[in-house]
A = this chain, B = another copy of it.
Amino acid sequence: MTIIPGGVTAALGFTAAGIHCGVRKNKEKRDLALIFCEKPCAAAAVYTTNRVKAAPIYVTMENLENGMARAILANSGNANACAPNGMENARRACAALAKRLGIAEDEIIVNSTGVIGMPLPIEVIEAGIPALADSLSRDGTPAAEAIMTTDLTKKEFACQITLGGRTVTLGGIAKGSGMIKPNLATMMAFVTTDCAITSELLHEALAASCGRTYNRISVDGDTSTNDMSAILASGLAGNPLIAEKNADYDTFVAALDAVNLHLAREIARDGEGATKLVTCRVTGARSEEVAAALSMAVISSSLVKAAMFGADANWGRVLCAMGYSKAPFRPEFVDISFSSPAGTVQVCAQGRGLPFDETLAKEILTQKEITILADCHEGDGQAECYGCDLTYDYVKINGDYRT
């Protein structure tokens, strides 16, 4: 697998656009994104498990029933969740785009992100669609920018693999950065590929990959109403069609994992108010599932997150969070270390505190990327989860989000 520049337009057949249409007041901020393929694609998506789902989630579910799509339309600035006429407005957006692009309405994946409960200003979206369609190009960055809300950085990634002698490209964009504890999906992540693959296997690959990537990050423990991870596969790479779980499928899934994992980690790093990417790697657990559950509890703990902000090697909070995770382990077997580019310091052996160099620990924990290592010494299960620190700015951003 080779990492290449670009994002959602790296694969053959795809163009994208991102403009300001007026959903957001700030005219400097793009708020409407489009991803388009020159031909119909195999398509799949997984969605938030929140019982409260935004209207576009339901519209996309309907549109993807046949496993085909060729466009993704998304706005920021308004979630179209718990809002009046939500279904009607999501369908009107699809209808306007379908008419302009000369495609069917059910070939469109649609989503929204932003404040919950306000009516979607559908007129400005309808009015913006011609300009949006006119600006489609091979540059994927405007679309990556148009789905950002409180994100500080755009999130793009692309890579290539070889299948049956043909180069296959995958690329994606995503947005965070609050209300992030995805559960079988993430806030919004859109991946495109020119791989030839059936829509059934595409869905299976996406769902499995989300379980290993977006479902292993948390910014604040809040699972949003609009989570969606979607993928379009154009087949233009000309590789032998993947229609069974063969070696090509495995190679494709590994590349899809790489794209999703990169985007997931970028979402965690850019968590609201975050100053640090915090990884918790649990090893030696009874199974991968146990390791993932222990690791998720650690990176989700407000106390661990605040300690990481303060560069405080408070490992007792790490063991405490593992303890209430409900996953089985023996506290008296656990070793804990903190690691970063500045070094590694072990702070706990067999569930008991070790004397350690506080100055070194402080230096390790003041870096921008920190790893918390917990070895359970009970088996071969291991997993990494990703989060961020809890800061004054998280409180500031979320104390006054609507106004």
Interface size of A as a range? 35 or more
Q: Hey, what's the 0/1 contact readout for A48-86 against B, CB within 8 Å counting as 1?
A: 011111000000000000000000000000010111100
Q: Is the interface of A mostly helix, strand, loop or mixed?
A: loop
A353-B83 in contact (CB<8A): yes
**Which residue in B79, B224, B314, B323 is a CB contact (below 8 Å) of A51?**
B323
A309 CB → nearest B CB, Å: 5
Chain B positions within 8 Å of A301 at CB level: 221-222
A222-B52 in contact (CB<8A): no
A186 CB → nearest B CB, Å: 14
Question: How far does the alpha carbon of A400 sit from the alpha carbon of B391 in the complex, in Å?
Answer: 12
Question: How far does the alpha carbon of A149 sit from the alpha carbon of B37 in the complex, in Å?
Answer: 60
Question: How far does the alpha carbon of A392 sit from the alpha carbon of B398 in the complex, in Å?
Answer: 11
Question: How far does the alpha carbon of A36 sit from the alpha carbon of B309 in the complex, in Å?
Answer: 42
A187 CB → nearest B CB, Å: 12
B52-A401 in contact (CB<8A): no
Q: Hey, what's the 0/1 contact readout for A311-346 against B, CB within 8 Å counting as 1?
A: 011111101111111001101000000000000000
Question: How far does the alpha carbon of A391 sit from the alpha carbon of B396 in the complex, in Å?
Answer: 8
How many copies of this protein are present in the complex?
2
Question: How far does the alpha carbon of A183 sit from the alpha carbon of B325 in the complex, in Å?
Answer: 12
A22 within 8 A of B: no
Question: How far does the alpha carbon of A401 sit from the alpha carbon of B315 in the complex, in Å?
Answer: 12
A117 within 8 A of B: yes
Q: Hey, what's the 0/1 contact readout for A110-135 against B, CB within 8 Å counting as 1?
A: 00000111110000000000000000
A223 within 8 A of B: yes
Chain B positions within 8 Å of A181 at CB level: 324
B118-A353 in contact (CB<8A): yes
A331 and B52 in contact, given A324-B222, A398-B303 (Cβ under 8 angstroms): yes
**Which residue in B84, B303, B321, B351 is a CB contact (below 8 Å) of A353?**
B84
A403 within 8 A of B: yes
Q: Hey, what's the 0/1 contact readout for A291-317 against B, CB within 8 Å counting as 1?
A: 000000000111100110110111111
Chain B positions within 8 Å of A399 at CB level: 306-307, 309-310, 312
A13 within 8 A of B: no
B309-A225 in contact (CB<8A): no
Chain B positions within 8 Å of A398 at CB level: 302-303, 306-307, 310, 390
B316-A79 in contact (CB<8A): yes
Chain B positions within 8 Å of A303 at CB level: 178-179, 220, 222, 398
B183-A324 in contact (CB<8A): yes
A166 within 8 A of B: no
A46 within 8 A of B: no
A110 CB → nearest B CB, Å: 19
A249 within 8 A of B: no
- The residue on B at minimum CB distance from A118 is B353
Chain B positions within 8 Å of A83 at CB level: 352-353
**Which residue in B51, B82, B313, B400 is a CB contact (below 8 Å) of A352?**
B82
Q: A residues touching B (Cβ–Cβ < 8 Å)?
A: 49-53, 79, 81-84, 115-119, 178-179, 181, 183, 220-225, 300-303, 306-307, 309-310, 312-317, 319-325, 328-329, 331, 348, 351-353, 390-392, 394-403
> 12 interchain pairs (CB within 8 A)?
A84-B352, A116-B317, A116-B320, A117-B315, A221-B221, A221-B301, A222-B301, A222-B317, A224-B320, A302-B302, A306-B394, A312-B399
